[in-house]
């Protein structure tokens, strides 16, 4: 029997299904998954049976994070300067400080259930989207700031982690952004991917990481591609989690986050 999605694929736009709350990630299936830190609800608090929306009660690991209110931004971020990639991201004159989860101590950690990048998840994304082919991109875009960045440590980073892995263990990273005290860099399995990236700062940036099944990892900052490097993506480690963590010196913060599947060349080109 012919693929029933072939005709739709040719004439109709792709269907995307958004799982729009972090605590739903492990319970719902989609093409897009959102995590939205909020001022009035500390989603990273200890697990509770009486309060909906707590991540630790829905398969996440959440350790000693500070739920931090957003402040100080201009309306719409002020003047917007588009980046050069396909993500439609860019830089703002004054984004201020977004609502975010903040690390401030050694081993602070937020990590999702391991659920991304496997045959199961990517086939589901294909079926939901009505596409003929499996997605070849697993990506994440997020607001992040390395609020303290003075050390060269891979343990303080944001990214994807192998099955049963931990965001506190660099060797278990599939692709994660960290500070080497001078520059931001991307690491996989505790090894730097390509060369180092932009100079470190403590500003809030809109980051993107994409793993491409064709053998590439890309990363960008504020809509500008930093690097696209050919890699051998480690086998036998899916499904992956998304997470971020701190060591005793460097402390990242994490704002609005979007994990997604995509087709073609992705959004970072």
Q: What pTM was estimated for this model as a whole?
A: 0.92
Asked whether residue 63 is domain-assigned, the answer is: yes
Asked whether residue 185 is domain-assigned, the answer is: yes
Handedness of CA 98, 146, 23, 13 (dihedral sign): positive
> Are the CB atoms for 259 and 267 separated by under 8 Å?
no
What are the 10-residue block averages of pLDDT along the chain, 269 residues in total? 49 83 96 94 79 89 93 94 84 94 95 97 97 96 97 96 94 97 97 96 97 95 95 94 95 98 80
82: which 2 tokens?
Answer: 């588009």
The structural domain count of the chain equals 1
Asked whether residue 135 is domain-assigned, the answer is: yes
Gap between the terminal Cα atoms of the chain:
36
Query: If you ran DSSP here, which 8-state letter would residue 116 be given?
Result: B
pLDDT of residue 7: 45
**Structural domain of residue 162, as residue ranges?**
5-262
Do strands 18-19 and 32-35 pair parallel, antiparallel, or not at all (unpaired)?
parallel
The angle subtended at Cα 268 by Cα 188 and Cα 69, nearest 5°, is 80
pLDDT of residue 47: 77
257: which 2 tokens?
Answer: 């986050």
Asked whether residue 268 is domain-assigned, the answer is: no
pLDDT of residue 14: 79
């Amino acid at each position: 029997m012919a693929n029933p999605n072939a005709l739709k694929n040719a004439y109709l736009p792709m269907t995307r299904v958004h799982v729009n709350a972090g605590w739903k990630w492990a319970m719902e299936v989609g093409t897009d998954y959102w995590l939205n830190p909020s001022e009035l609800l500390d989603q990273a608090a200890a697990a509770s049976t009486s309060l909906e929306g707590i991540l630790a009660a829905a398969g996440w690991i959440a350790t000693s994070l500070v739920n931090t209110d957003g402040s100080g931004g201009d309306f719409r971020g002020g003047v917007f300067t588009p980046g050069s990639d396909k993500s439609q991201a860019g830089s703002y004159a004054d984004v201020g400080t977004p609502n975010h989860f903040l690390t401030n101590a050694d081993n602070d950690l937020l990590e999702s259930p391991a659920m991304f990048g496997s045959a199961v998840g990517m086939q589901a994304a294909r079926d939901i989207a009505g596409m003929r082919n499996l997605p070849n991109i697993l990506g994440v875009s997020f607001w992040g700031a390395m609020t303290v960045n003075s050390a060269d440590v891979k343990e303080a980073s944001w990214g994807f982690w192998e099955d049963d892995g931990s965001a506190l263990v660099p060797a278990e990273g599939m692709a994660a952004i960290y500070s080497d005290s001078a520059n931001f860099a991307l690491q996989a399995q505790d090894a730097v991917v390509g060369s180092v990236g932009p100079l470190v700062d403590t500003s809030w940036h809109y980051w993107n990481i994409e793993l491409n099944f064709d053998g590439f990892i890309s990363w960008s900052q504020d809509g500008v591609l930093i690097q696209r490097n050919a890699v051998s993506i480690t086998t036998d480690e899916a499904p992956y989690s998304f997470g971020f963590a701190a060591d005793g010196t460097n402390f990242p913060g994490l704002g609005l986050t979007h994990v997604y599947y995509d087709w073609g060349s992705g959004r970072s080109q």
